[in-house]
Chain A
């Protein structure tokens, strides 16, 4: 079957049939960090990077949740019923200009960050979950 030329009129259904093959979901990533109470120190900066290993362009959104001690909706920061949010300073700028600049703004990476400071929550363990949803020409994009 010959490839059609660009000037030809394409059926409207083509958009939908092709777009479904460019939106993908990455694997779940999980990490645990111990964060101590003041004045010992006390904050964590988490960086999430999505990389298309074929060096093809990617655009993604980073889903994340932070849990105190264990993965349970009641332990979620913020919003869990067992959580006092005033114990924490949580800043979620999502996309990091400075980290992207470090890799010369390559279009095959997405880089997001999360900052969390333990203001008065005692010595704690934090569990981080994240998962990227992204658009790219190919599915193979790997979290590193």
Chain B
């Protein structure tokens, strides 16, 4: 007689089956899957030149092309002259912030509203962010502006 029990092969009914979409989900399913619904957009780079008294209104739009809802965070950095940490507006060691007026960035109700003719039916699949910059007295300067969205959505398609 053997010291060890004979292991029986697993029955087919014990194998986990992929559930159907119609099945009722456990409450924890959403949180376990959240990691695959947070995405990042490509980096976008814009450049403009501002002299004293010149201003720029920069707007960014994130659109989910399949019209799935999304919520996005817009990461933005503005460089003066060239891309270097010393040239970041605000905070770079080579920057005098009193030479600039910066408002925002902020989620822009006006731009979001305009896409719907200011009706109260705003698109859930778009996000809008705006940044205002006025060159008060920095002289003629190139601004290089980087941005990249992080967003949560059912689908990645931008």
Query: Are A and B interaction partners?
Result: yes
Taking Cβ atoms with an 8 Å cutoff, the residues of A that contact B are 1-11, 13-20, 22-25, 27-28, 59-65, 71, 73, 76, 78-79, 85-86, 90, 92, 94, 129-131, 133-135
User: Quick one: closest B residue to A133, CB to CB?
Assistant: B71
8 of the cross-chain contacts (CB-CB < 8 Å) are A15-B37, A18-B30, A19-B154, A63-B108, A78-B132, A85-B55, A135-B71, A135-B152
Contact with A along B104-134 (1 / 0, CB 8 A): 1011111011100010101010011010101
Taking Cβ atoms with an 8 Å cutoff, the residues of B that contact A are 16-26, 28-30, 32-33, 36-37, 55, 57, 68-73, 101, 103-104, 106-110, 112-114, 118, 120, 122, 124, 127-128, 130, 132, 134, 136, 152-155
Task: Give Cα A61 to B71, complex, Å.
Answer: 8
Instruction: Tell me how many residue pairs across A and B have CB atoms closer than 8 Å.
Output: 137
| Residues of chain B within 8 A of A61, CB atoms compared | 71-73, 107, 127
Task: Give Cα A129 to B118, complex, Å.
Answer: 11
| Residues of chain A within 8 A of B101, CB atoms compared | 85-86
With A20-B154, A78-B57 known as contacts, the answer to whether A63 contacts B112 (CB < 8 A) is yes
Task: Give Cα A90 to B127, complex, Å.
Answer: 22
